[in-house]
Amino acid sequence: MPDALMQKIKNFIMDEFLPGEDPDELIETTPLISGGILDSIATLKLVMFVEEQFSVNFAPHEVDKENLDDLVSIVRLIRAKNPSAA
Amino acid sequence: MGTDVCLHELFIASARRSPQALAVVEPGQGSISYGELDALSDRLRDRLAELGVGRGDRVGIFLRKSIDSVATLLAALKVGAAYVPVDPGAPAARGAYILHNCAVKVAVVETALAGKLAAALANLGAAPTLLAVDGLLDGGAGLLAALDDADQRASAAAVDSVASAPDELAYILYTSGSTGQPKGVMLSHENAVSFVDWCSETFSPTAADRFSSHAPFHFDLSILDIHACLKHGATLVLIGEDIGKDAPRLAQLIADERISIWYSAPSILALLAQFGGLAKHDYSALRQVLFAGEVFAVKHLRALCEFWPTPRYFNLYGPTETNVCTWHEIPLPVPPERNTPYPIGQVCSHLRARVVDESGAAVAAGSEGELCIAGPGVMRGYWALPEQTAKGFFKDPDGSAWYRTGDIVTEADDACYTYRGRRDRMVKRRGYRVELGEIEAGLYRHAKVKEAAVLAFADELAGVSITAFLSSDDAKRPSLIEIKRFCAENLPLYMIPDKFNWLDSLPKTSTDKVDYQRLKELR
């Protein structure tokens, strides 16, 4: 996982929701919401973290499985909003 | 109370009175009037009859919450059948188990889910007729198209709506079962109508009200939403599952749709108070906030009441077997120093309550005991489970059947009950009943799980947090991600444990049973 932005999000998910898990298990395409890792409260926490860290705002309708189900999708959405996010 | 009236006749009377009034709204997608909904459900009633459904049968509903699913449940009632709503978001195998268990003759299914469901049903050797409805067509258009399509192949003759007897079944709601399979709670027309009449008496809804429909239809809160709303000619605002869990969007929707009577589990209200941004919107239409299903943490209730100072707040309590059986209006304001949860309140006027000890004898006033309920709201029993039904009740010498709720309460001098805890291993999570045994049974299905024990702990934000203790013979244990994904495929999302704790082996009691007390200390 070369991307620093993705690594920050991954670290947050590992620390908050997957304590003790081997970091190699969480890959770019691991399903987060449909895979039972993020429930609704966890998803809100992730969104709050991302908004604060990367100076972006998610519209309410963007907070869903289509946009946030894996690391690739999350990074894509952040980059679309703030190309210089890092 | 008019319990000789059957449930769908309440709706039909509203449709005759005001056919132009708005019955159901799918926000942003469409709406349907009482007259149109009556006609649409009549057409499906005729089609169901054509497919062989009659009085005393069951009709499954495997649809996303929609105008189509409201029309379907009304059609099932009109043809004299009981409706069986199944969570379309839960694994297909669970849905198939339920539909097979109560032997539905027809299931109305979302087209996109029909293949998986049919395969899961075939695995069980069941083959009910599946009527597929395109879930992407909103505002009742999907069902209409399915009916047009069926009519082209063979027309369905018009039949009369059945005037069901009070003791005939209106719906079956499946709840978590301790043996690992869900069990069907059978509710009759009398059960439903006596409850809806109590709602009328207590909340005095009018045709001008706009009811939220937040709970899914397989959840008993939906009975108040749908049937109390339709009885009074009010408007039902359907809230889909995605938006229902998303606090900021939901906050906007409640304001935009000018909802006047809100009903949900407390967990989503706690999320709204914390993350909804409620200060941004206008909630002047909101006049009643009802909640049920679990304990509402007082600090979140207080925060909510600060954002929404004008509505009246009601704590409703009751298992699916009785629907709401006690209620308490929260006196406002919530004092800043209060931390103790509010009582579950007084018994509803159509029911009777009693607090008993383990032998079934009434306890001394103020002592802890199990809350038991009798009256016209109490279920007929569990589908095809006569032993569990018998265990659920005790009989008075005068013949009245008392349902044992399993909830431990105390009664204060003012006949107001306070909830103290559970007798067994059931917990409430986001308003859902969860038998910890059903989660254990789900975990045992994983090939690498040798032992599984599940415990619930109090959690300030989520109400309860669930921890699974597991052991495996395999040197390479499943990763946390793998086990969570396995759970997501085998259990409803609200049953997935929050924490997984792997041990070499689970501690045992002297009789070689899992020692839950010692596990509690290992948390």
- The pTM (predicted TM-score) of the whole model is 0.84
Whole-Å CA distances, B422 to B25, B94, B368, B405: 38, 26, 11, 9
- Residues of A whose CB is below 8 A from B482: 25
| A25/B482 touch (CB, cutoff 8 Å), yes or no | yes
| A20/B488 touch (CB, cutoff 8 Å), yes or no | no
Residue B22 β-bridge partners: B33
- Residues of A whose CB is below 8 A from B247: 44
B252, B462, B488 ranked by CB distance to A34: nearest: B488
| A25/B480 touch (CB, cutoff 8 Å), yes or no | yes
In angstroms, rounded to a whole number, what is the distance separating the alpha carbons of residues B263 and B244? 12
- Residues of A whose CB is below 8 A from B479: 21-22, 25
Name the DSSP letter for residue A57.
-
Convert B302-335 to b/e letters by CB count within 10 Å (16 or more is b).
bbbbeebeebebbbbbbbbbbbbbbbbebeeebe
Chain A positions touching chain B (beta carbons under 8 Å): 18, 20-22, 25-26, 30-31, 34-37, 39-41, 44, 48, 60-61, 63-65
How much is the pLDDT for B168?
Answer: 97
Q: How many CB contacts within 8 angstroms connect chain A with chain B?
A: 51
Q: Give the CA count within 13 Å in the CB-facing half-sphere of B355.
A: 22
- Residues of A whose CB is below 8 A from B252: 60
How much is the pLDDT for A27?
Answer: 93
- Residues of B whose CB is below 8 A from A14: none
Interface residue of A41, A68, A71 to substitute, partner B, most B CBs within 10 Å: A41
Interface residue of B281, B446, B476, B480 to substitute, partner A, most A CBs within 10 Å: B480
The C-alpha R_g of chain A, in whole angstroms, comes to: 12
Please report, for chain B, how many H helices and E strands are present, in that order. Answer: 17, 26
| B275/A36 touch (CB, cutoff 8 Å), yes or no | no
Chain B positions touching chain A (beta carbons under 8 Å): 242, 245-249, 252, 271, 275, 461-462, 479-482, 484-485, 487-488, 493, 496
- Residues of A whose CB is below 8 A from B460: none
Residue of B nearest to A27 (CA): B481
SS3 (DSSP) at B426: strand
* β-bridge pairing B235-238 and B210-213: parallel
A25, A41, A63 ranked by CB distance to B462: nearest: A41
Alpha helices in A1-86 (DSSP H): 4-17, 40-54, 65-68, 71-81
In tens, the pLDDT along A15-62 reads 998 888 889 999 999 999 988 899 877 888 899 899 889 989 888 778
- Residues of A whose CB is below 8 A from B270: none
- Residues of B whose CB is below 8 A from A61: 249
First to last CA, chain B: 50
| A63/B248 touch (CB, cutoff 8 Å), yes or no | yes
Distance from CA of B493 to the nearest CA of A (A): 7
Short-list B263, B207, B274, CA closest to B254: B263
Residue of A nearest to B479 (CA): A21
pLDDT tens digits in sequence order for chain B, 523 residues long: 445 899 999 999 999 999 999 999 999 899 999 999 999 999 999 999 999 999 999 999 999 999 999 999 999 999 999 999 999 988 899 999 999 999 999 999 999 999 999 999 999 999 999 999 998 877 889 999 999 999 999 999 999 999 999 999 999 999 987 777 899 999 999 999 999 999 999 999 999 999 999 999 999 999 999 999 999 999 999 999 888 888 999 999 999 999 999 999 998 999 899 889 999 999 999 999 999 988 888 989 999 999 999 999 999 999 999 999 999 999 999 999 988 889 999 999 999 999 999 888 899 988 999 999 999 999 999 999 999 999 999 988 888 899 999 999 999 988 899 998 888 888 888 788 888 988 998 898 898 998 899 999 887 766 788 999 999 988 888 989 999 999 988 888 889 998 899 999 898 877 777 888 889 888 7
In angstroms, rounded to a whole number, what is the distance separating the alpha carbons of residues B251 and B278? 6
3-class secondary structure for B27-38? CCCEEEEHHHHH
In angstroms, rounded to a whole number, what is the distance separating the alpha carbons of residues B484 and B489? 9
Inter-residue contact B340 to B412 (CB < 8 Å): no
Interface residue of A40, A43, A52, A68 to substitute, partner B, most B CBs within 10 Å: A40
How much is the pLDDT for B1?
Answer: 44
**Which H/E stretch holds residue B221?**
helix B221-223
Short-list B347, B339, B340, CA closest to B316: B347
In angstroms, rounded to a whole number, what is the distance separating the alpha carbons of residues B233 and B223? 15
Residue of A nearest to B90 (CA): A34
| A36/B484 touch (CB, cutoff 8 Å), yes or no | yes
| A21/B249 touch (CB, cutoff 8 Å), yes or no | no
Distance from CA of A71 to the nearest CA of B (A): 14
B248, B249, B493 ranked by CB distance to A36: nearest: B493
How much is the pLDDT for B372?
Answer: 97
User: If you write DSSP's letter for every residue of B80-142 in order, what string do you get?
Assistant: TPEEEE--TTS-HHHHHHHHHHTT-SEEEEEHHHHHHHHHHHHHTT---EEEEE-TTSTTTHH
In angstroms, rounded to a whole number, what is the distance separating the alpha carbons of residues B353 and A37? 42
**Which H/E stretch holds residue B273?**
helix B266-275
